[in-house]
Amino acid sequence: MYTARTAPDGSRPVAVVTGASAGIGAATARALAAAGFEVVVGARRFDRIEALAKEIGGRAIALDVTQRESVEAFARAVPRINVLVNNAGGAHGLDTIAESDDDRWRTMWEANVFGLMLVTRAFVPGLEASGDGHIVNVGSIAAQEVYPGGAGYTSAKHGVTAITETLRLELLGKPIRVTQVDPGMVETEFSVVRFDGDVERAKKVYAGVAPLVGDDIADIIAFVVTRPPHVNIDHIRVTPLAQATAMAVHREG
């Protein structure tokens, strides 16, 4: 259990979590609320974030990170911010480069890379004004390695690594910490989305493995954002015990 610091102006610190309608984002919103943050959740499926906001005493605002107007309206509705968790994103398909699907590539790049930039750009002024800001980018082990059929996703997540490392340089000297959390296999809706709603195929990804769950990543994010303000955790890579790399997975049975 971690405890949010009171904001420099004495108020409760505000955390924004994108992609909070499922999986890692929903778990992170709950963990940050439990730590004492006032949490603002964003995603396209408004009914889900509305129910979550009610549960955790936070605010829900509809958000499509790929649409500049949506991101700017979201940011206008959140005048005070201390922590931004850029979590929205995911994978679509497992197509080889030779058989790539244009729409899937665009969707992956727009949500994981372009959307992350739009949201970050909208909130950097507020994070700086807070005097104690923090950006947490949810990357992936795909942000560091590649696998066959994964290039649409791995290239996008490698882009997230480039953005995180660039932000760290560009924001040096400002009161904004920058962290990237790179999970391996986490059982969420991720694989169902990747395989266009094919639940049976998604289940096979986790067969014979005890995967991470959303709460495992939420716990890490709550940890990094509650360190003292002079402590910047640049990067955390976390996998299930049974997973060494994207391709090296030990399965029981």
Chain CA centroid to CA 212, Å: 15
Residue 179 in contact with ligand NAP, rule: CB under 6 A = no
d(CA 174, CA 233): 16
Does 83 bind ligand NAP (CB under 6 A)? Our answer is: no
Q: How far apart are CA 251 and CA 14, in angstroms?
A: 41
The smaller minimum CB distance to ligand NAP, of residues 50 and 165, is found at: 50
CA distance 212 to 184: 8
- Edge to edge, the sheet with strand 14-18 lists 59-62, 38-43, 14-18, 83-86, 133-138, 176-183, 235-238
Residue of 4, 14, 24, 84 interacting with ligand NAP (CB under 6 A): 24
* CB-nearest residue to ligand NAP: 23
What is the CB neighbour count within 10 angstroms for residue 245? 12
* Minimum gap (Å) between residue 33 Cβ and ligand NAP: 16
Ranges within 42-81 binding ligand NAP (CB under 6 A): 43-45, 63-66
The least CB distance from residue 175 to ligand NAP, in Å, is 26
Round to whole Å and give the CA distance between 181 and 176.
Answer: 16
138 near ligand NAP, rule: CB under 6 A? yes
Say if residues 76 and 102 touch (Cβ distance below 8 Å).
Answer: no
Compute CA distances 181 → 31, 197, 207, 234, whole Å: 15, 26, 24, 9
Stretch that binds ligand NAP, among 38-46, 144-152, 224-232, 234-242 (CB under 6 A): 38-46
Q: Segment contacting ligand NAP (CB under 6 A): 8-16, 166-174, 187-195, 219-227? A: 187-195
Residue 90 engages ligand NAP in binding (rule: CB under 6 A)? yes
Question: x/- site string to ligand NAP, residues 108 to 137, per CB under 6 A?
Answer: ---x---x----------------------
d(CA 207, CA 77): 42
Residues contacting ligand NAP: total by CB under 6 A: 30
Minimum distance, C-beta of residue 87 to ligand NAP, in the bound complex (Å): 5
* Out of 120, 155, 179, 188, the residue judged to bind ligand NAP by CB under 6 A: 188
Q: Which of 153, 237, 154 is nearest to 195 (CA)?
A: 153
- Nearer CB in complex with ligand NAP: 20/225: 20
Annotation marks residue 206 as catalytic: no
Q: Angle at Cα 233 formed by Cα 181 and Cα 141, nearest 5°?
A: 25
Fill in the DSSP letter of residue 5. P
Which CB, 7 or 246, lies closer to ligand NAP? 246
Q: Which residues are catalytic?
A: 153
Give the interface with ligand NAP as residue ranges (CB under 6 A). Answer: 18-25, 43-45, 63-66, 87-90, 111, 115, 138, 140, 183, 185-186, 188-190, 193
